[in-house]
A = this chain, B = another copy of it.
Amino acid sequence: MSITVVGSIAYDAVKTPFGERERMLGGAAVHFALAASFFERVRVVGPVGDDFGEAELDVLRSRGVDVSDVERVAGGETFFWRGEYGWDLNSRETLDTQLGVFEGFAPKLSSESCASDVLFLANIQPDLQREVRAQLPDARFVALDSMNLWIEIARDSLIEAIKSVDCVILNDAELRQLTGKPNLLSAAREVLSWSTSPPSSGESTSSEDAPAPGSARGPSVIVAKQGEYGAALITHEHFFSLPAYPLESVVDPTGAGDTFAGGFVGYIAAHLDGEGVSDELLRTAMAHGTALASFNVEEFGTERVVRLTDAEIAARVQSLCEITRFS
């Protein structure tokens, strides 16, 4: 089932202990789309400036990503982020953010993008996430990412956005901040309890299925990203946890979270059927998201993922199975 992603398309300047890049392709929607493209057809919605090159669009096109809803804003500058990572890559300092064309961005979705069955709302202002969500009322599976900034300055809108999706993907610290609950499990269960009121005729739906359009809506899947430690999945019925793939050489963590989301949501989109999102499907999707993220951090920006093969992904998922197995 095809995927629409709305989010940033950017130029990143990144410095890590292992090197630096002055101007490379980045942005949440880009990392997500490249990862998801290994599983399903992806359409990207987001703005770029005059300065955005055809070569960068070709990176997306080379992976079969549909860029016809990438909006080129005349006279505008592409979103730019500059950051630097510390010794152990776990601390990151933002040195510069130039919103550029993202200031005043109003997502315009073509009828094709609105027809996707799966939607990923990458980390953008929650009002915009809700606007886009409203344009795909019949989507089968909708996931959302966010960040500490929006929890601080737009919490109410973010909560409304969360109520409108099936799946919330956040860092564990963000889940704690969002709910005020220090315990991860309690925080996740709090978010799982957020829902719109069911219509009077609504039937209760299985916690593992995406609810039918028009019924009571609220997240049924929480993914807590835990950086170098991996990620945990919490639903009403289940808990699942997967470590990050162990790497001796990590070069650039930028985009790892969005690449994870792309692998996770992409795998779900490719395997979603009439039965909805089963626990088994979610677990396998977590493994694919984790595998994709592990490749992403091996080189700068999108450099590794654009060279990736299906066979490499399958081998890494197999390795993840091996490093977590016990009897």
Q: Which A residues form the contact surface with B (CB < 8 A)?
A: 17, 87-89, 176, 182-186, 189, 226, 228-230, 232, 238-243, 246-250, 280, 283-284, 286-287, 321, 323-327
**Contact between chains at B323 and A186 (CB < 8 Å):** no
Bound-complex Cα distance A5 to B32 (A)? 50
**Contact between chains at B184 and A241 (CB < 8 Å):** no
Residues of B within 8 A of A326 (CB): 240, 242, 280, 283-284, 286-287, 321, 324
Bound-complex Cα distance A238 to B323 (A)? 8
Q: Which residue, of A176, A189, A286, A326, has the highest number of chain B Cβ atoms within 10 A?
A: A326
Q: Which residue of B lies closest to A323 (CB)?
A: B239
Bound-complex Cα distance A283 to B322 (A)? 11
Q: Which 3 A-B pairs have the closest CB atoms?
A: A241-B243, A88-B182, A283-B326
Residues of B within 8 A of A226 (CB): 229
Residues of B within 8 A of A232 (CB): 243, 246
Assuming A183-B249, A321-B327, what are 5 further A-B pairs, CB within 8 angstroms? A88-B183, A184-B246, A239-B246, A243-B243, A283-B327
- How many copies of this protein are present in the complex? 2
Report 25 cross-chain contacts, Cβ distance below 8 Å, ordered by A residue. Answer: A88-B182, A88-B183, A89-B182, A183-B247, A183-B248, A183-B249, A183-B250, A184-B246, A185-B248, A186-B248, A226-B229, A229-B229, A230-B241, A232-B243, A240-B323, A240-B326, A241-B324, A242-B324, A280-B326, A283-B325, A283-B326, A283-B327, A284-B326, A321-B327, A324-B326
Residues of B within 8 A of A284 (CB): 326-327
Bound-complex Cα distance A67 to B83 (A)? 56
Chain B proximity of A88: nearest CB distance (Å): 4
Q: Which residue of B lies closest to A86 (CB)?
A: B182
Q: Which residue of B lies closest to A183 (CB)?
A: B248
Bound-complex Cα distance A286 to B327 (A)? 11
**Contact between chains at A327 and B229 (CB < 8 Å):** no
Chain B proximity of A178: nearest CB distance (Å): 14
Q: Which residue of B lies closest to A182 (CB)?
A: B88
Q: Which residue, of A89, A183, A283, has the highest number of chain B Cβ atoms within 10 A?
A: A183
Bound-complex Cα distance A226 to B229 (A)? 8
Q: Which residue of B lies closest to A229 (CB)?
A: B229
Residues of B within 8 A of A89 (CB): 182
Residues of B within 8 A of A247 (CB): 183, 185
Bound-complex Cα distance A89 to B87 (A)? 25
Bound-complex Cα distance A189 to B229 (A)? 18
Residues of B within 8 A of A88 (CB): 176, 182-183
**Contact between chains at B240 and A324 (CB < 8 Å):** yes
Q: Are A241 and B246 also in contact (CB < 8 A) when A229-B229, A280-B327, A287-B326 are?
A: yes
Q: Which residue of B lies closest to A325 (CB)?
A: B283
